[in-house]
Amino acid sequence: MADLTQEEWAEQLSQDNNAVVLDVRTQDEVDEEGIIPNAIHIDIYKGQGFIYELENLDKSKSYYVYCRSGNRSGQACAIMNQLGFEKTNNLLGGFSEWAGDVTSV
């Protein structure tokens, strides 16, 4: 897992043709605050359901994971690494510090 600043995240993401953006916030957070465009949403608080949904993802891709502040996304990256995902990137500061595009759901 790599912890990336907002700038590093945006730069790497723009150059990564194998990237998937993953939002691990709650549905309420997504509804209230919006989501980074093209992100997939899997709530980390789903417990085992979170694991099941991760298992359906392509482990060969690069994952750019975020939550509100960077804590839950760090936990999500650690879980993903244990499940065999090799390229996970955690957004330091999370969505609360995101200055890029946001879309509503």
Indicate whether 61 belongs to any domain: yes
Residue 44 belongs to a domain = yes
Domain of 78, in residue numbers: 2-97
pTM of the model: 0.96
Contact 46, 27 (CB under 8 A): no
Whether residue 104 is contained in a domain is answered as no
Distance in angstroms (rounded) separating the CA atoms of residues 48 and 35: 23
Model pLDDT for residues 11-64, shown as the tens digit of each residue: 999 999 999 999 999 999 999 999 999 999 999 999 999 999 999 999 999 999
* Number of domains composing the chain: 1
Structural domain includes residue 73: yes
For residue 103, is it within any domain? no
Contact 74, 1 (CB under 8 A): yes
Q: What is the CATH number of the domain that holds 23?
A: 3.40.250.10
